[in-house]
Structure 1
């Protein structure tokens, strides 16, 4: 049972996993994705595999209007990244990513442990991460790799810290920029350190090269992938508080007794359906960030405001409502073909935000009318009506407004989570 052939090894570039329709099933299994919860060869060793936390990756070197690319170089440094698992299990695996790397990177060591808050961990819970039995792993440019199974007992909503050590200079181009969770950077190998004494200058709010944590259990589970932009990603939610929309939906599910229904976040702040600006466009990443998620059974598709706003802001990047609608329809069709249940969220109001004039609101109404009339999806979540100001429906309700007239505050994200019919996630 412990021979190397019994331990599934996912060392295939994402692009290869979808290279031919005739090899689709095998490719998904080889990439650690798919609704079946993992390949049968792994099941005797680790049970059914389910994504329990995800962060969609983007290229840190990508030039964006009004921003300066920030690429981290880690050298003889440890990076402790904190997250919250959605599903419990007996074992975990992590997926490390160099998907957008321009050169190889080497992770000299990694450990997982229960987070005790801040940079602290429960040292007794710390476990070494291995890849094909080795504690060190090198990823080529464009590569993602799933670790060996790690004996680690976790209950739903367990806080976890993943610490990675980079002994030599490594350029981390592959990131999830908007973490809303503090990462701690310390000098030297601090994989097992109870805390990492990181000054504010050595703290970040992004995830570096860490894209998935899976849990394994003999119990079957549902996995809900929330696919969207900055509102799904949790922009303006309280840092280190797990108040993003997916987190608060997860809280509702667990409080209602849905211990084996998980929610993972595939949002990227600034993301659009049709143009690569903040992360790869949604059309291009849907296969990887939704269909390729281990154990996925449901998806909530909630995206489009950035296509509309930026069509006004940057006329050279303008897209039509027909193009946005076609993108949504394609995503729904792909998910249904995979056997997933699909819910689609209407686009929220944004009057008062700098790039949301009346013309953008008119386009928003066109797209929302299509969403409400759609019969291919399994349901609609009418975020527009939930979040609008009762006396000025083109504006977000002031009670829910973070202050920028576009993103909700923590209370607003809670109202959105409350709008989801939990029965549709069974």
Structure 2
């Protein structure tokens, strides 16, 4: 009987082993992930700021009139299907886009003809975006690779005043007369110093992706000599080349030069824009925050003819309270947070003994955090070992406030990749 029982048991196990799986593993669901994005600002703010040169001569003045805008950028992730976000966030009137396209860029405003794809919006070839609103194009099949430039073109059949813009690297935006969205090479194209209207580029994927929003001011945006070598871009390259990368990581540069955590100025303040510019990106999983330099410095520094209002004079406690609010917002969305310490700025108009003490207090608070997923000690990386209140000469771009190319590389190297892959 015992032998028979064992035989029956063995047969039962064998039968069970060959039974079909009644709960097969479902394929991963396709989803949109941000592959490139920027944080826009109001063109009027740039033009009014005496320290910026956004008011340089532009073809046709401060509006598009019967012209095609073409902009190129490099996505952080590849994919076979894409969509583009167009923004009228700071516009005062409806934004009419009469036609639009996307293609692989071949440089200098030209695109590969074989890759040109017409963009549609809810099935239509044109779209009207209300003031303060955004619109995504429909998804379209286009194979793109990480780091391979793509170009988005938009034709404006009526006057469109400059409104929603972003400071870009040189030679990434061009304007030409007429409807040229399907033209591989623009005729008589003129370069523009700004990125206009296009604020996001998503790819569709079924793979797990870590999407990191680098949220900050000009140091994040690439102020100084970095150009397209800002620390977020260099971090993205480092992640792509890492042999230990378990999955794809997209790094988005959501920095705005001159931005502050607590007060509006160049761009909305960090507290008010965090939900849209950082947490609002498709598939975001991590945020790296580096803000506070301009809040501290503007408490004592006065722009020509624009004294700092009383309510914009900050304390260390107000800054740390603001950073804590960002942490809470991210936690509520299930997004991991890494905070960077504020780099030194002695020998600039921002520096006094009082602002140095404030910076030290803010950095001590950041280093002591136990409720964040990581601390990136940019201060320790960039400061002068001989005088920690000053920038390391090896990393100083010359203004004693912004890192040079080597400084941005050091910042990118300071990020623990494991914290972005968890």
> Is the shorter-chain TM-score for this pair beyond 0.5, marking a shared fold?
yes
**2:234 paired residue among 248, 261, 264:** 248
Confirm whether residue 341 of structure 1 aligns to residue 324 of structure 2: no
* Aligned position for 1:97: 87
Deviation at 1:54, TM superposition (A): 0.6
Deviation at 1:406, TM superposition (A): 0.9
TM-score (norm 2): 0.85
C-alpha separation between the residues in 1 aligned to 2:214 and 2:293? 16
C-alpha separation between the residues in 2 aligned to 1:72 and 1:399? 40
* Aligned position for 1:235: 223
SS of the residue 1:62 aligns to: helix
Confirm whether residue 351 of structure 1 aligns to residue 334 of structure 2: no
Contact 2:215 2:287 in 1 (8 A): yes
TM-score (norm 1): 0.85
Deviation at 1:179, TM superposition (A): 4.7
C-alpha separation between the residues in 1 aligned to 2:49 and 2:76? 34
Question: Which stretch has the larger CA shift, 369-378 or 166-175?
Answer: 166-175
SS of the residue 1:51 aligns to: strand
Confirm whether residue 299 of structure 1 aligns to residue 287 of structure 2: yes
**1:128 paired residue among 115, 118, 126:** 118
Contact 1:83 1:181 in 2 (8 A): no
SS of the residue 1:308 aligns to: helix
Confirm whether residue 217 of structure 1 aligns to residue 205 of structure 2: yes
C-alpha separation between the residues in 1 aligned to 2:117 and 2:242? 32
**1:58 paired residue among 21, 41, 45:** 41
Contact 1:180 1:234 in 2 (8 A): no
Confirm whether residue 177 of structure 1 aligns to residue 167 of structure 2: yes
Contact 2:297 2:349 in 1 (8 A): no
Deviation at 1:369, TM superposition (A): 0.5
Confirm whether residue 418 of structure 1 aligns to residue 413 of structure 2: yes
**2:314 paired residue among 297, 316, 319:** 319
Task: Quickly say closer, same or farther: Cα 1:390–1:110, change in 2 above 3 A.
Answer: same
C-alpha separation between the residues in 1 aligned to 2:157 and 2:231? 36
* Aligned position for 1:263: 251
C-alpha separation between the residues in 1 aligned to 2:364 and 2:187? 52
* Aligned position for 1:281: 269
C-alpha separation between the residues in 1 aligned to 2:262 and 2:226? 29
C-alpha separation between the residues in 2 aligned to 1:194 and 1:82? 13
RMSD of aligned Cα (Å):
1.9
Deviation at 1:417, TM superposition (A): 0.3
Residue ranges of structure 1 left out of the alignment (5+ in a row): 1-42
* Aligned position for 1:364: 359
Superposed CA deviations along residues 353-402 of structure 1, whole A, max 9, x for unmatched, are 22223322221111000000111111100000101112121111122111
Deviation at 1:72, TM superposition (A): 3.0
C-alpha separation between the residues in 2 aligned to 1:191 and 1:65? 33
SS of the residue 1:61 aligns to: helix
Contact 1:98 1:172 in 2 (8 A): no
Residue ranges of structure 2 left out of the alignment (5+ in a row): 1-27, 56-60, 302-306
Contact 2:174 2:191 in 1 (8 A): yes
Question: How many positions carry a matched residue from both structures?
Answer: 378
C-alpha separation between the residues in 2 aligned to 1:84 and 1:311? 37
Larger Rg: 2
Superposed CA deviations along residues 297-338 of structure 1, whole A, max 9, x for unmatched, are 011011110001101114423111111111101101111121
Contact 2:86 2:200 in 1 (8 A): yes
C-alpha separation between the residues in 2 aligned to 1:344 and 1:271? 16
